[in-house]
Amino acid sequence: MRRETQFILLAGLVGLICSDLRAENAPATKAVSILSRCDSCRIVLVPPRGKSKSDLEISALQRKIKTSPIPAPLLDRLGWLLVAKARSTGDEGIYNLVKQTALCLEALEPESTAALLLRGHALQSLHNFKEAEPVARKLIEKRGASFDYGLLGDISMDRGQVTQGIEAYQKMMELKPDLHSYTRAAHARWLTGDVEGALELISMATEAGSSRNAEATAWSYSRRAAYELQLNRLSDALQSVKAALELQPDYAAALFFRGRIELAQGQTNNAVVSLQRAVKLNSLPEYQWLLADVLNTTGEKSALPAIELELNKRGALEDPRTFALYLTTRREKNEIALKLAERELTQREDVFTHDALAWALHATGKYSEAQTQSNLALSEGTEDARLFFHAAVIAHSVGNLKEALFFSQKANGIQQMLFPSEQKQLVELNGHLLDAQSQAKLNTSDTN
């Protein structure tokens, strides 16, 4: 278990203890007393064991907090440093520390909007959307700042409430057109099928970023690389990755997309190097899946057992949706994948969760139900190769040749966005569809 993840076990008890302190919080109470008595504060002030740049920055800030007569602004900064670390490492357990930082901040400043935003962001990142939405709405009612609308938009998107999410992002942009609002608007454009518009907005985000906000800017460059890869602008995509890595050396998301670009260029050996480094820095199931796929295609299988063991050990806990897709694409443990996808849909009702459920239903032979879920996955017009590939397979399974051909052509047009195992299955599907098309023509001619 990762060190930060262990703190989730203390969350209930900590909330009660710090709640009691808030009730005692008279003007005469010294901040240092609260920091020493509140368990949330004690937890978030434990120095990280790592020696990375972010760990050293966090440790230095923790020392300042312990001696500061006004620690609240520093605690807020600590919370966002932890968010940046969670994003760069993929360790969702860190968001539990973000929650504890919010509780500590609330003990110091009851009804703090800064604490509310931190708590809401942590809840949203941990996929506790039903708890996060009231926090976002309370923030909008109390303050109505740009980030408050951003939080509501993020929650809405994850819950599949796209129109509501776009409205929140629009308000965010009106209040503060910056890197954060442009990045969200770009995602909304991409989600609704406008890839060129998404690229235009993400380019505005990268231009608005700087080294002062290095992690968020590097993330925006990584997303720009993804859009450029989809548009088959491989040279531009590599430049975006390079810019991300200049801002954040060894940034896992940028290395992951560099690997994907190198695959599209046919540079498989280079892709292995990039992906191995990305997985070492950030062991997200998605990263591990792609690396395992590439190693399978190259025949370099010595590292495969360790990667697949880790993926099977932690995938269901850390990213059940991706792990369900991995299992069904590998044609393994289909019933487990179905249960994971069904459970995930109770939390996230976006198009990608509908797609994961459709794929799992298809794998278990429930073709009609799979078709229903696939239609929901396509409902926003998202230009996504995986959605199209799955839709084509499912349409073929229910005997809808015309629809299967349409979606297979859509997937073929952006097949560089698929993982190698998916590309292989798409080639197999194309062969089956050609055979079916030829047979249909023969039948027609025989009838005539």
Read off the pLDDT of residues 390-404 as tens digits, 9 standing for 90 and up: 999 999 999 999 999
DSSP H/E element including 407: helix 401-413
pLDDT of residue 10: 44
Could you tell me where the DSSP H helices lie in 248-377? 252-264, 268-281, 285-298, 304-318, 320-329, 334-345, 351-363, 367-377
Do residues 154 and 166 make contact, with C-beta atoms less than 8 angstroms apart?
no
Give the ranges where 109-233 is alpha helix by DSSP (H).
Answer: 113-125, 129-142, 146-158, 162-175, 179-191, 195-208, 214-230
**What's the CA angle centered on 210, arms 170 and 279, to 5 degrees?**
90
Query: Residue 178 in 3-state DSSP?
Result: coil
**Residues of 162-176 as b/e, b for ≥16 C-beta within 10 angstroms?**
beebbebbbbbbebe
Can you tell me whether residue 289 is helix, strand or coil? helix
CB burial string 396-406: b at 16+ within 10 A, e below? beeebeebbbe
Distances (CA, A) of 18 to 85, 97, 318, 447: 25, 14, 28, 79
Greatest Cα-to-Cα distance within the chain, rounded to the nearest angstrom:
95
CA angle 331, 252, 79 (to 5 degrees): 110
Per-residue pLDDT of the chain (448 residues; tens, 9 = 90+): 344 444 433 444 444 456 555 544 444 356 777 787 888 889 999 999 888 888 999 999 999 999 888 899 999 999 999 998 998 888 888 999 999 999 999 999 988 999 999 999 999 999 999 899 999 999 999 999 999 999 999 999 999 999 999 999 999 999 999 999 999 999 999 999 999 999 999 999 999 999 999 999 999 999 999 999 999 999 999 999 999 999 999 999 999 999 999 999 999 999 999 999 999 999 899 999 999 999 988 877 777 888 999 999 999 998 999 999 999 999 999 999 999 999 999 999 999 999 999 999 999 999 999 999 999 999 999 999 999 999 999 999 999 999 999 999 999 999 999 999 999 999 999 999 998 888 777 676 656 5
Query: Is there a contact between 208 and 186 (Cβ–Cβ < 8 Å)?
Result: no
- Residue 194 confidence (pLDDT): 98
